[in-house]
Amino acid sequence: MTERKHKLTIRGLTKRYGSVTALDHVDLDLADGEFLTMLGPSGSGKTTLLWSVAGLNQPDDGKIWIDGREATDVPASGRDIGMVFQNYALFPHMTVAENISFPLEMRKVSPPDRSRAIKRALEMVKLEHVGERFCNQLSGGQQQRIALARAFVANPSIVLMDEPLGALDKKLRDHLQLEIKRLHGQLGMTVLYVTHDQEEAMVMSDRICLMNQGRIEQIGTPDELYFRPKSLFVADFLGESNLIPGRVTGEEAGCLVLELPGFGTVRTRSTAPRPHGPDIVYFTRPESIGIHADAENKANRLQGRVSEVVVSGAITKLFVGIGDATLKISLLTSGSQRVRKGEPLTIGWDDDVGRVLSPSLMEAA
Ligand SMILES: Nc1ncnc2c1ncn2[C@@H]1O[C@H](COP(=O)(O)OP(=O)(O)O)[C@@H](O)[C@H]1O
Ligand SMILES: [Mg+2]
């Protein structure tokens, strides 16, 4: 990432609304052509950050560079940015073509070049035939595709998208996720995307930046955040996990030895910084645990009993009672590897798939 040019650099960005700190010293770098998603619960500062980059609010502290030029005090109209909002924000009294033309007019593009760019943008979102219609004559999904066309028609440095699919039903959302990914690949644009939907973030992003109360909790590839969360907050926010409280009791051959009361003893080769005190929460993903033959020769092997089997299409979820705890395991559904409720089961997992996290939700491990 370091040798690539940075499209966007943010240092120490801070924004307060009265006593609320919406952004708290945020540092962020966006590489040229990168698709980065700001993910986090409602109120964590995602929209505030996007507005700061767009020049739509005035930060209290910190600096922003776009394309290597300082933009902190540049007005919104002078920043080379395209934007898509959740609720389309198209001009209803204008035709589709007039809407898409707007950013081109702002940049004083000549009329013939404008026509060509509008035509190309409409082709890209596969709506060649609606140019003369008014926006309120289009469906929600069509309007959002027009909003996309308008955001990138002028080939801006960065496209900002704030929950652009939030108002659409699931099927349309899935379709437009792929459409946005295709356009990103085709145009090579740099995208800063906002969503509170972790699946959407996992599907779409090169990197995810998980926000918590105005601060970056963790930034990395979807895989890093999913399998190597740095805190309980990250583990808990993304997908399902097994979280078992316990204590570090020793170290053995490069592994931490953990006593998990009511569960057992496990070993983990955790390279991440460990919590200061002995109290920890042990983390594994349900996908990381194997059964039967897949449990053999693993550093951690335990006996349990299947308490529930849930088949949801391609994935089978097992709940396995071990001591006083219940472990979630997810497997690919297979005809040959049937597991029945009530049966005893050997499970196993490697010492490099677990993580040791701080028991505090707010403190990074
Ligand atoms: N214009 C505003 N006036 C006062 N408080 C605001 C304003 N905009 C945002 N906030 C507050 O700042 C925090 C971050 O909000 P926001 O950036 O909208 O979060 P998100 O987009 O992650 O849901 C929230 O506590 C929110 O209530
Ligand atoms: Mg928001």
Q: Are 220 and 80 within one domain?
A: yes
173 is a domain residue: yes
Q: Are 12 and 128 within one domain?
A: yes
Atom number, ligand 1, closest to the C-alpha of residue 15: 12
Q: Parallel, antiparallel, or unpaired: how do β-strands 81-84 and 158-162 relate?
A: parallel
How much is the pLDDT for 92? Answer: 84
Cβ atoms of residues 104 and 110 within 8 Å: no
Atom number, ligand 1, closest to the C-alpha of residue 23: 14
Which ligand has the minimum distance to the alpha carbon of residue 46?
Answer: 1
Band of the pLDDT at 364, cuts 50, 70, 90? very low
Atom number, ligand 1, closest to the C-alpha of residue 49: 17
Cβ atoms of residues 291 and 339 within 8 Å: yes
Band of the pLDDT at 275, cuts 50, 70, 90? confident
Ligand 2 centre to CA of 49 (Å) is 9
How much is the pLDDT for 140? Answer: 87
Mean pLDDT comparison of 2-11, 54-63, 138-147, 353-362, highest-scoring range: 54-63
Q: Are 330 and 283 within one domain?
A: yes
For the chain, the domain total comes to 2
Band of the pLDDT at 100, cuts 50, 70, 90? very high
User: For the domain that residue 327 is a member of, what is the CATH number?
Assistant: 2.40.50.140
Report the distance separating Cα 32 and Cα 240, nearest Å.
32
362 is a domain residue: no
269 is a domain residue: yes
Q: Are 38 and 15 within one domain?
A: yes
Best probe residue, ligand 1, of 16, 20, 24, 217 (max atoms within 8 Å of C-beta): 20
Between 87-96, 172-181, 220-229, the lowest mean confidence (pLDDT) is in 87-96
Q: Which of 206, 229, 252 is the last residue of a domain?
A: 229
Residues facing residue 11 across a β-bridge: 63
For residue 324, the enclosing domain spans: 233-357
Q: Are 68 and 32 within one domain?
A: yes
Q: Are 212 and 240 within one domain?
A: no
Ligand 2 centre to CA of 181 (Å) is 21
Ligand 1 centre to CA of 19 (Å) is 12
Strand order in the sheet with 255-260: 264-268, 255-260, 242-252, 279-284, 355-357
Q: For residue range 131-190, what is the model confidence (pLDDT) as tens digits?
A: 999 988 898 889 989 999 999 899 998 999 999 998 888 988 898 899 899 989 998 999
- Mean residue pLDDT of the chain comes to 92
Q: Is 218 in the pocket of ligand 1 (CB under 6 A)?
A: no
More confident residue, 102 or 337: 102
pLDDT at position 5 over 90:
no
Cβ atoms of residues 94 and 37 within 8 Å: no
Q: Which of 197, 229, 261 is the last residue of a domain?
A: 229
Q: Are 211 and 253 within one domain?
A: no
The predicted model scores a pTM of: 0.90
pLDDT at position 337 over 80:
no
pLDDT at position 293 over 50:
yes
Report the distance separating Cα 148 and Cα 130, nearest Å.
14
Cβ atoms of residues 262 and 323 within 8 Å: yes
pLDDT at position 336 over 90:
no
Q: Are 304 and 342 within one domain?
A: yes
User: For the domain that residue 219 is a member of, what is the CATH number?
Assistant: 3.40.50.300
pLDDT at position 2 over 50:
no
Q: Are 165 and 297 within one domain?
A: no
Report the distance separating Cα 267 and Cα 302, nearest Å.
12
Phi, psi for residue 187 in degrees, rounded to 5: -95, -15
Of the candidates 306, 337, 339, the one whose C-alpha atom is nearest the C-alpha of residue 322 is 306
Ligand 1 centre to CA of 208 (Å) is 20
Q: Which of 214, 229, 244 is the last residue of a domain?
A: 229
Q: Are 211 and 287 within one domain?
A: no
How much is the pLDDT for 334? Answer: 82
Atom number, ligand 1, closest to the C-alpha of residue 40: 22
Between 86-90, 275-279, 310-314, 326-330, the lowest mean confidence (pLDDT) is in 86-90
Q: For residue range 251-271, what is the model confidence (pLDDT) as tens digits?
A: 888 899 999 999 999 999 966
Band of the pLDDT at 86, cuts 50, 70, 90? confident
365 is a domain residue: no
Q: Is 355 in the pocket of ligand 1 (CB under 6 A)?
A: no
pLDDT at position 1 over 70:
no
Q: Is 47 in the pocket of ligand 1 (CB under 6 A)?
A: yes
First to last CA, the chain: 25
Cβ atoms of residues 248 and 255 within 8 Å: no
Atom number, ligand 1, closest to the C-alpha of residue 41: 22
How much is the pLDDT for 167? Answer: 83
Report the distance separating Cα 319 and Cα 125, nearest Å.
44
Q: Are 220 and 248 within one domain?
A: no
75 is a domain residue: yes
364 is a domain residue: no
For atom 5 of ligand 1, the residue with the nearest CA is 17
270 is a domain residue: yes
Atom number, ligand 1, closest to the C-alpha of residue 51: 17
Between 21-35, 132-146, 218-232, the lowest mean confidence (pLDDT) is in 132-146
Cβ atoms of residues 229 and 235 within 8 Å: yes
Band of the pLDDT at 3, cuts 50, 70, 90? very low
330 is a domain residue: yes
Best probe residue, ligand 1, of 19, 47, 195 (max atoms within 8 Å of C-beta): 47
Tokens of 99: 């809407």
Q: Are 209 and 239 within one domain?
A: no
Of the candidates 327, 323, 325, the one whose C-alpha atom is nearest the C-alpha of residue 348 is 327
